[in-house]
Amino acid sequence: MIPACFSHPNTLSSTSQVPQNLITCIYQTQLCNSPTYLTLTWSKTLLSHSLTIYAADSFSTTISLYPSTFSFFRNRPGSKSIYLTRHHCQRIKLYWDFTRADFDENSAEPESSFYIAISCNARLEFFLGDLQEELTRRSGLIMACQVIPESILLSRREHVFGRKSYISRAKFLGSKHEIGIECSGGVLKVKVDGETNLVIKRLAWKFRGNERIYVNGIEVEFFWDVFNWVNSDNNSNSNGHGVFIFQVGDGGVWPEMVGPEKRLMRKSLSSVAGSGPMPATTLSPSPWCSSVLQWAEESSDGGRSSCSSSTRSYGSNGGFSLLLYAWKKD
């Protein structure tokens, strides 16, 4: 039996600041005709709800989905002009509308009735959502004369919080599924749409590994790392979270951690270090990479092992990865 599955060591405190849900998606798209990885981080806490949009060496901005801490009304539609860092003479226009956005229960990411768009020189280059007519009316962009660019979702990383059960929802090749992770009595269960797909016993000896599963007929490589959970009672340096990867094809590109996600990991590392000073290296991306994460990357044809999206060349490899950090909460 693994006591970590029943107790809550190294859990995150201050519930008003800890995310209830944190999702980062990385898209392959273009900005001003230049190939770009665009990272969107959705963060929801007890008192706030925000979206951080980031493109390496280009720009970073955060949008609040609520105008004030205790407001029941979402922010009005908005827009913002941004000059790109690497090309000071180039400017993009960001548009958004979450006024009527629908969200799954406890999810920071909207399901429908919203839009996010980026244009350059009055040309639409990125669009996410389902309110194209609303965007046309508010922005003045001539959508009828344009082909809406295809933005490819390469990877999705989600921080889920629970005690014994952790739930995520993700699309595998266009089909959306509910993914469940359960840990109890030294047994790890993987569920897809409520049905048990994989059972891993004796986690004390099998705290890391990989198995092949099938999701709606799609072959998915599943990797897990619960070393922190297994050793949480004996190792005060445990971060208290499990890492799980669902990889289709060659896998995707791991998004760089920015904004609230970066702060969450910094806080976790700070609690590990205690009152003593943290080495500078602990604030680099590398400590946030589980060994199983590097293993998953190295198992792909690309053979790359880094958490930074900047290390991969541009171009879709036909794969997708769902990365889950499962955090134990009080």
Take residue 31 and report the two structure tokens written for it.
């900005």
Q: Is 159 in contact with 240 (CB distance < 8 Å)?
A: no
Q: What is the mean pLDDT of residues 116-126?
A: 89
- Would you say residue 16 has pLDDT above 60? no
Task: Look at residue 316 in the predicted model and tell me its pLDDT.
Answer: 45
Task: Look at residue 229 in the predicted model and tell me its pLDDT.
Answer: 83
pLDDT band at 7 (very low <50, low <70, confident <90, very high): very low
Percent of the chain with pLDDT over 70: 68
SS3 306: coil
- Would you say residue 99 has pLDDT above 70? yes
pLDDT band at 149 (very low <50, low <70, confident <90, very high): low
Q: How far apart are CA 306 and CA 24, in angstroms?
A: 17
pLDDT band at 284 (very low <50, low <70, confident <90, very high): very low
* Maximum mean pLDDT: which of 147-161, 185-199, 237-251, 269-283: 185-199
Q: What is the mean pLDDT of residues 317-329?
A: 83
- Would you say residue 121 has pLDDT above 80? yes
- Would you say residue 330 has pLDDT above 50? yes
Q: Say how many Å lie between the first and final Cα of the chain, rounded.
A: 20
Task: Look at residue 292 in the predicted model and tell me its pLDDT.
Answer: 61
Q: What is the mean pLDDT of residues 198-208?
A: 91
Q: Would you put residue 177 in left (φ > 0), alpha (ψ -120 to 50) or beta?
A: beta
CA distances from 206 to 209, 211, 232 (A): 7, 12, 15
pLDDT band at 166 (very low <50, low <70, confident <90, very high): very high
Mean pLDDT of the chain: 76
Distance from chain centroid for Cα 9? 24
pLDDT band at 282 (very low <50, low <70, confident <90, very high): very low
pLDDT band at 143 (very low <50, low <70, confident <90, very high): low
Instruction: Dump pLDDT digits (tens) for 50-72.
Output: 999 999 888 999 998 875 445 55
- Would you say residue 159 has pLDDT above 80? yes
In this predicted model, which residue has the larger pLDDT, 221 or 236?
221
SS3 277: coil
In this predicted model, which residue has the larger pLDDT, 313 or 172?
172
Q: Which residues contact 114 (CB under 8 A, 6 or more apart)?
A: 96, 97, 98, 100, 101, 129, 130, 131
